[in-house]
Amino acid sequence: MMDAVRARIRDVPDFPQKGIVFKDITPALSDPAIFREVIDAFIARWKGERIHKIVGIESRGFLFAAPLAYALGAGLTVARKPGKLPWQTIREVYALEYGENALELHVDAVGPGERVLVVDDVLATGGTADAVGRLVARQGAELVSFSFLVELSFLHGARRLGPERVHSLITY
């Protein structure tokens, strides 16, 4: 079924800027059978791994993190852009393929000894996920892995995160 998912992901050239080919996952997610297959694949991979918390990365990571947390009986928390979380936060700055940004996590989002899975839609250079991994580590939690719908392997993001800690459903 991942072939069906791959077939529904469209390339959008020059978005968000010239030279970038954006992987648009929304056509795949709009098909209920394909969306179910994606969530079921995430669940199958992480079931039995004793995940305490799932951190969804803003914003498309939320789409996978919430149903996965529900299915695994894990807590859900979110990494957001600066100024979007309403309480005390910690922040990490990271580089994008096309600029720089920062992400924040509530200071009590994850705690010491909790097993944490970080979830997002696409792994590109790994800067965003790496920043979230640093936020998780700063709070004393155990980062189990990073899990993505799509990995753009030609950008070598898994090298940055540690290939043994990266799980991707689809690789380009």
In a domain, 125, yes or no: yes
Residue 83 lies in a domain: yes
Whether 60 is catalytic: yes
Q: What percent of the chain has pLDDT over 90?
A: 92
The pLDDT assigned to 97 comes to 61
Please give the residue range of the domain that contains residue 79.
49-171
Residue 134 lies in a domain: yes
Predicted local distance difference test score (pLDDT) of residue 11: 97
> Of 146, 106, 94, 145, whose CA–CA distance to 122 is shortest?
146
pTM: 0.95
Active site residue 97: yes
pLDDT, one tens digit per residue, over 140-169 is 999 999 999 999 999 999 999 999 999 999
Name residue 53's beta-bridge partners. 75, 116
Query: Total structural domains in the chain?
Result: 1
At residue 98, the pLDDT reads: 65
Tell me, yes or no, whether 6 lies in a domain.
no
Of 6, 8, 60, 165, the active-site residue reads: 60
Distance CA 142, CA 162 (A): 15
- Computed over every residue of the chain, the mean pLDDT equals 96
* Active-site residue (options: 6, 8, 37, 97): 97
**pLDDT tens readout for residues 75-106:** 999 999 999 999 999 999 987 666 789 999 99
Tokens 């200071």: give the residue: 107
Q: What is the CATH number of the domain that holds 84?
A: 3.40.50.2020
32 domain residue, yes or no: no
